[in-house]
Amino acid sequence: MVRKLTLLGGAFLLLSGMSLEARADLKLCNNTDSRVGVALGYKDKEGWATEGWWTVEPQKCLPLLKGNLIARYYYVFAVDYDKGGSWGGKSMMCTRDKVFTIRGIEDCEGRSFTKTGFFEVDTGEQADWTVSLSGEKTTQGQ
C-alpha cells in the first residue's frame, strides 16, 4: 500500500512538473550607466502597434512583453534620459512624448504623432528573447 502511494505521488509530481511552462518574454537590458526610455513596435493579430515608454534603470533588465513571442521581428527605439542620444534605425513607426499605445504605423504626423525610426530585432522565431542596449547611440530616424 505504501509503495503504491509512493509511486502515485511520484507520478503526480512528474506530471505537475511537466505542466509548468518555462517563462518566455521579450526583455530589454540596459547595459549603460543612464536611465533609458524604451518604445516597442510589433505586429500582432490586429496589425501594427507601437507602445512606450518603459523606463529601464542603469544595469537592469525589464520585460517589455510577457509570455511566448508571437512574431519573429520586433522593433525598438530607446532614448538615453541622462546623457542624451538615442538608439534607432530605419523602420519608421509612430511615437509620442507621453505614455502611448498606437495602432498602425501609417501617417504618423497626420494623426498628431511623431514619425520615429526603430531598429529591427530578429528573434529567429524564438519564444524568449533579450535585447541589450550598450555602446554607440544613433540619432537616426527621429
Is pLDDT of 78 > 50?
A: yes
Range of the domain at 79: 23-133
In a domain, 11, yes or no: no
| pLDDT (0 to 100) of residue 22 | 55
In a domain, 141, yes or no: no
Task: Estimate to the nearest angstrom the gap between the alpha carbon of 115 and the chain centroid.
Answer: 19
In a domain, 7, yes or no: no
In a domain, 36, yes or no: yes
| pLDDT digits 0-9 by tens, 80-111 | 999 999 999 999 999 999 999 999 999 999 99
| pLDDT (0 to 100) of residue 125 | 85
**DSSP output for the chain:** -HHHHHHHHHHHHHHHHHTPPPP-EEEEEE-SSS-EEEEEEEEETTEEEEEEEEEE-TTEEEEEEESS---SEEEEEEEETTT--EE--SEEEEE-SSSEEEE--S-TGGGT-EEEEEEEEE-TT-S-EEEEE-S--B-TT-
Number of separate domains in the chain: 1
pTM of the model: 0.79
Domain at 62, CATH number: 2.60.40
